[in-house]
Amino acid sequence: MTLPETLTLETFRQIYAGGTSPRDVLALLEERWEECEKTGNPVWINRRSLAELQEEAESLGQRKAECEALPLYGIPFAVKDNIDVRGLPTTAGCPEFAYRPEEEAMAVVLLRQAGAIVVGKTNLDQFATGLVGTRSPYGACGHARAPEWISGGSSSGSAVAVAAGLVPFSLGTDTAGSGRVPAAFHGLVGVKGTRGLVSTRGVVPACRSLDCVTLFAHSLAEAAEILGLLAKFDPRDPYSRRAKAFLRPAELGESEVFTFGVPRESEWCFFGDKEAERLYRAKIDALVKLGGVRRDIDDRPLREAAQLLYQGPWVAERTAAVEAFLQSNPDKIHPVVRKILESGKEKSAVEAYRGAYALEEYKRQTEDLWSTVDFLLLPTAPTMYRIAEVEKDPIRLNSRLGTYTNFVNLLDLAALAVPAGEREDNGLGFGVSLIAPAWSENHLFRWAALVQAEESVPSPLPGGGILFAVCGAHLRGQPLHGQLLALGATFVEETRTAPAYRLYALPTEPPKPALVQVEEGSGGSIQVELYRISEEGLGRLLTKVPAPLALGALRLQGDREVCGFLGAEGSCRKAVDITAYGSWRNWQKK
């Protein structure tokens, strides 16, 4: 058996469904991990032995009856080395700081409970201080595809491990953008949820009041699934918060029009990077074509708030996290990191209060923003650099990378970083971030599915695919639209049926329509959207559609025939006939 270059949760589920054991799969992965180490790119700081991993896999297999219900059964993952894992030292990127944790981080516990297997600990900017991936005594972690370019940090090794096909997902942390910038450079999904949504117990703090545990994955669907497992209140973590509105994608709301905010073009900041600017502009234009409403915003309060993180008193919180080690072992700390940590000693309590007051002002100034836009669409990073460039100018270039990320945790916002194309100059990734207020994860996943649609699925699909019509909950902007995108469907056109159908509103939650074929002259022409989807994708969609709907042939205007979901007329006796409205959207507006 040969493993695919890109590993996903679905990869392992299909392999295990075919009868291959986790033990055998881990042996194949061991070969890949060893090949990666031969390249000299220092992804891992500590990796568990194959024998230990296989022993854990066998223990899962011995609990087969229970494991069949575990969502991540036998799926390997990587963990940033400032997050505690049982049996492995935590270094935070500093060998002399290393300790053996008595218990592991809550996030790791939850993933293990779901059946996942920790492979090892990944490289990082020391003490999670940096956005470049070069500030490590274990070596600068280069980009997975072009090692002379930075990987992004501080969660450098975690992003490279996923991008290089070593694991299907990984954990990182984010204070200033560390769970987002590496995702952008590698074409990954990076999730930085609301502060406190995922427990930070068992994490070496950078800024404890701002830190978030994050994750890297290849798709929105898989990232959402993993986040759903991690989003648990932890009473032992004083910074854990009870989620106010965190929902899985299948439970999303119903708004069909979205408005997104972008900075005024005169304020765009790409530091002369024309390629990044081109890709950002293209993504904005693509969203407008999909029906999004662009609103230019004044982002000065965001940029000014961002300055507080390193130029204000919050740098002292980084110092507080490792103060004892800084005092006793200053020469063991990376020179750039040490310079930043020592600057925190200069901050006074008076400055801390002034910074807190300023932050509240910025929060108040941005409150009205969220009544005018659903989310902000920003470049995740305004540019990228080679390792050699960063080593010559480590602080200034690093600071540039946080232009559109540093304010997010300070202002208590949630962010989702998604791929937005490849650069033509070096072939590497560019990404955008969707940002919204705390507890907006449900909306962010929904809108991100639209943002990603163009790049995530080629059109037309290989082999032509099948034309499939939807008329209700799967339409763009509707609550189940994400199911189509997750299955690789791509939008073709908006059209209408032949005048031989009646449309009913079923008494379901969320509300769904049923399209029923009737005799010519006794029905109407109903608005539908056409999508192209693979046979496999359509088959998987069928498993998600409940009775009384079933797959059938649907006639369109001009006597074209496509596949679509149809209802039986007898099953709609208790439903409301809404044919006169001509479309599901028109009925919702009534």
Residues 419 and 186 sit within 8 Å (Cβ to Cβ): no
Q: Strands 259-263 and 212-217: what pairing?
A: unpaired
Residues 130 and 273 in one domain: yes
Task: Flag whether 106 is in a domain.
Answer: yes
From the candidates 155, 156, 178, 433, which is the catalytic residue?
A: 178
Token digits for 355? 């910074």
pLDDT at 447: 86
pLDDT at 1: 76
Task: Flag whether 3 is in a domain.
Answer: no
pLDDT in tens, 159-168: 999 999 999 9
Task: Flag whether 251 is in a domain.
Answer: no
The yes-or-no answer on residue 399 being catalytic is no
Residues 311 and 167 in one domain: yes
pLDDT at 457: 30
Question: Which one-letter amino acid corresponds to residue 395?
Answer: I
Give the residues of the chain that fall short of pLDDT 70.
63-68, 245-257, 453-465, 482, 486, 488, 509-510, 544-548, 568-571
Of 432, 456, 480, the one marking the end of a domain is 456
Q: Tell me, what CATH number does 485's domain have? A: 3.10.490.10
From the candidates 136, 151, 154, 199, which is the catalytic residue?
A: 154
For 389, the domain range is 9-246+257-456
Residues 449 and 475 in one domain: no
Q: Tell me, what CATH number does 332's domain have? A: 3.90.1300.10
Within a 10 A sphere around the Cβ of 232, how many other Cβ atoms? Answer: 16
Residues 403 and 506 in one domain: no
Distance CA 115, CA 69 (A): 9
Task: Flag whether 82 is in a domain.
Answer: yes
pTM of the model: 0.78
SS3 515: strand
Residues 439 and 524 in one domain: no
Q: How many domains does the chain have?
A: 2
pLDDT at 507: 79
The yes-or-no answer on residue 219 being catalytic is no
3-state DSSP percent of the chain in helix, strand and coil, to 5: 40, 20, 40
Residues 341 and 489 in one domain: no
Q: Strands 76-80 and 117-122: what pairing?
A: parallel
The yes-or-no answer on residue 178 being catalytic is yes
Token digits for 568? 């039986």
